[in-house]
Amino acid sequence: MPEMVALDSNGHLYIADSENHAIRKVELRTGLITTVAGCPAGSPHPADRQSSPMKTLTDLTEEDPLGSPSQATQEKFAQVADLSGIVRFVVGASSTSGRFRGDGGPATSATLNFPSAVAVDERGNLYIADTMNYRVRKVDAVTGIISTVAGTGQCRFSGDGGPAVVAALNEPVALAVDGEGHLYIADQSNNRVRMVDLNTGVMATVAGTGEAAYSGDGMLGSEAALAGPSGLAVGPDGTLYIADTFNGRIRAVDPETGVIRTVAGDGGEYRYLSQANEFSTSLSRPYGITLDQAGNILITDSDSHLIRRWDRRKKIVTR
């Protein structure tokens, strides 16, 4: 089941193929697919990069500070080195004394609890959605020290307008960072998208009312209802794209006005049967999203086990 996707600057699409426990790479120019990390069930182990079995793979970020595609697994954060193909862990340590520890120390000694998303800012700092610890954590690019930037460890909703470190989250599952110093968090079980101003540390809600429903197009994002948002991406103009997963839609929040709209999906379910229904407005549990250089949205249509593409100019979704 594809869950998260990321594009690198060379036109490679990376897919977190979670149920196959593998990271796949698609050369978009040729359409060729390869496995770059993990070991799909039943496959041989031809190289180091493919013989490292992984637990559930949940997220990818385009590049780490060293230029390598990165992914989160159930308990650790991993990097895949492009040249050698060797998987190495840079955050997370095995622990029998609980699933949260390590703030203020080296990230490699910290404990995570089902990290589900990663993002990197312009300075190379790494942000981790430490999902079942109900926190977002940061690894300093220079020192390697880990700290909490959002969340209290309590699974509830609170804290808008105040410091993010005393604001409660409920299963943060996706992250995105824009060029203005804003960290966006898909606060899935709160049915909201939250934002931390990294310059001030203040938390706010940019989309979602907390009710699991579909409403609000043409209104402020904070007045619109979402249902289990699970994917985020920021466009070059600052537009925030949201995979409104259980509504079967992709939503967009305008960076200037804060108004939300639907850009893809109609709430129906998509099932690929043949080329006759290759073009469809329906999505089936869209999860991860990323943008290509032309502004098209690549979508993991997870229940269909497909990667779909929303064409920015034609306003259609293709297989």
CB 263 within 8 A of CB 297: yes
pLDDT confidence band for 46 (50 / 70 / 90): very low
pLDDT for the residue numbered 76:
56
- Taking alpha carbons only, the member of 92, 58, 87 closest to residue 72 is 58
- pLDDT beyond 70 at 224: yes
pLDDT digits (tens, 9 = 90+) for 252-268: 999 999 999 999 988 87
Structure confidence at residue 282 (pLDDT): 79
pTM of the model: 0.82
CATH 2.70.70.10 fits 2-318, yes or no: no
Read off the pLDDT of residues 153-190 as tens digits, 9 standing for 90 and up.
Answer: 999 999 999 999 999 999 999 999 999 999 999 999 99
Could you tell me the strand order of the sheet in which 192-197 lies? 172-177, 182-187, 192-197, 203-207
Average pLDDT of the chain is 81
**Domain spans, the chain:** 2-318
* pLDDT at res. 18: 66
User: CA-to-CA distance for 117 and 34, rounded, in angstroms?
Assistant: 22
Range with the largest mean pLDDT of 19-23, 83-87, 167-171: 167-171
Mean pLDDT of 307-315: 85
